[in-house]
Amino acid sequence: MKTLFKITLILLAFFSFSGVFFSVYSQENAPDVKIVYEDVNPDTFVRYGLKRLTEKGRGFVTLYIFKNKRPEYLTEILERRVNELAFTVIKEKRSSLEESSSRYSTYTGIINNELNNFDEENKSNLSQKLKRHLTIINYLKTKFSHETAEWRFLQQDYESAEVLLSKLN
């Protein structure tokens, strides 16, 4: 049992800190903002599952071992979620849109609950990123009519980012 635990920890550490699954490439520009996509997105089921598993592993490690890195980790994950959301909309992967949107607003909520753990530098960094996210999400909303569910999902993401940004200012 101890051997299995050690192997699991080694694999978790390897995937958590290897950046293999997390490269980003520039794809499209919104007004005043460069949009990037993740290398692994929700449409690649197995690779995306591995990516999420390693993110959860890193989240566990930062929650219980490296607590001082938690704000940076959450900000990084939120950045990934907006990149995945952009990929989903721009590449017209509508089957993944609701899930991607939900993940983004979930992480804005998690960060909202953990704001007291953010120092001023982390808050400033998050504020800059959220302003960028608002521009991206606004651009993504233009791809849909106001009457569609897709637009409403994006509007919910916009509003959750706006609420978080207002708490930072």
> What are the residue boundaries of the structural domains of the chain, listed by start?
24-42+66-168
Mean pLDDT of 98-102: 94
pLDDT of residue 133: 96
pLDDT grade for 12, boundaries at 50, 70 and 90: low
Average pLDDT of every residue of the chain: 84
CB–CB of 136/33 below 8 Å? yes
pLDDT of residue 26: 44
pTM: 0.77
| Helix, strand, or coil (residue 96) | helix
Per-residue model confidence as pLDDT tens digits over 133-143: 999 999 999 99
Please tell me the distance from the alpha carbon of residue 153 to that of residue 159, in angstroms, as a whole number: 10
pLDDT of residue 98: 94
pLDDT of residue 4: 63
pLDDT of residue 19: 47
Please tell me the distance from the alpha carbon of residue 155 to that of residue 31, in angstroms, as a whole number: 18
Please tell me the distance from the alpha carbon of residue 87 to that of residue 79, in angstroms, as a whole number: 13
> For residue 54, is pLDDT > 80?
yes
pLDDT grade for 30, boundaries at 50, 70 and 90: low
